[in-house]
Amino acid sequence: MADLNRIQLNSIADISGQPSRPKASGLRRLGAKAFFRQRDAAAVGVHSRALRRLVEDGAVERVARGLYRRTDVELTEHYTQAAVCARVPGAVLCLLTALLVHDIGTQLPAQVWIGIPHKARTPTTDLPLRVVRFSGAALRYGIQDAEFEGVPVRITSPARTIVDCFRFRRIVGIDVALEAIHDGLAQRKATPAQIQRAAEACRAESLVRPVLQVLLA
């Protein structure tokens, strides 16, 4: 059997003698997931001309500069977050986006909030991003692994997300932080002990402890 990586989607002729149009199923057979970058497609033999034809045929959509998605994959509620994580591998979904994913509070952010290392280069993309910087223990503590539409995703846990809302209260607003901790506890998305540990790890204990004490009194 021929090596799949040598399949040339744009060179196979049909019985009429006309070149076959490349199919999105070729990307699936060659290992591409729902979201992929142009270089990922090229690595499995789907080069720029074939990729353009897939877009023209509607089998693939161009999501953002350098990022594509197969249209035969069902959309989910996490479409935008998956697109961002495909475009910015290693980013951590956080703050308002993490609240939305964990169903805490009432925030409906228009942008996808991501955390990146303090010294990392700011991502360049036309996707709707809001970037914050993490350093030290905040890069590691309370980070969960997930998968949206086949894309590996990292996201802050409910307790860590609540604590981050206090840490970044000047950005998100203290009302958002207070709603997050109240709702997170009421829905049992996080326990007081989990929130306390996250606050200690992220050096935000002085911000969170007084609020916990009032809520638990």
Question: What is residue 153's DSSP assignment?
Answer: E
User: What global pTM score does this model have?
Assistant: 0.79
Residue 26 is predicted with a pLDDT of: 62
Write the pLDDT tens digit of every residue in 18-32.
Answer: 445 556 666 665 455
Cα dihedral 136, 147, 93, 139, rounded to 10, equals 0
Helix, strand or coil, per DSSP, at residue 195 = helix
For range 63-69, the mean pLDDT = 86
With a CB cutoff of 8 Å and minimum separation 6, the contacts of 98 are: 113, 155, 156, 158, 161, 164
Confidence of residue 200 (pLDDT cuts 50, 70, 90): very high
Tell me how far apart the alpha carbons of residues 60 and 50 are, in angstroms, rounded to a whole number.
11
Residue 198 is predicted with a pLDDT of: 97
According to DSSP, the β-strands at 112-117 and 151-156 are unpaired
Write the pLDDT tens digit of every residue in 30-61.
Answer: 455 788 888 878 877 788 888 888 898 888 89
Tell me the domain boundaries of the chain. Answer: 21-70, 79-216
Closest C-alpha among 113, 129, 118 to residue 164: 113
Where residue 58 falls (left for φ over 0; alpha for ψ -120 to 50; beta otherwise) is: left
For range 152-161, the mean pLDDT = 97
According to DSSP, the β-strands at 151-156 and 143-148 are antiparallel
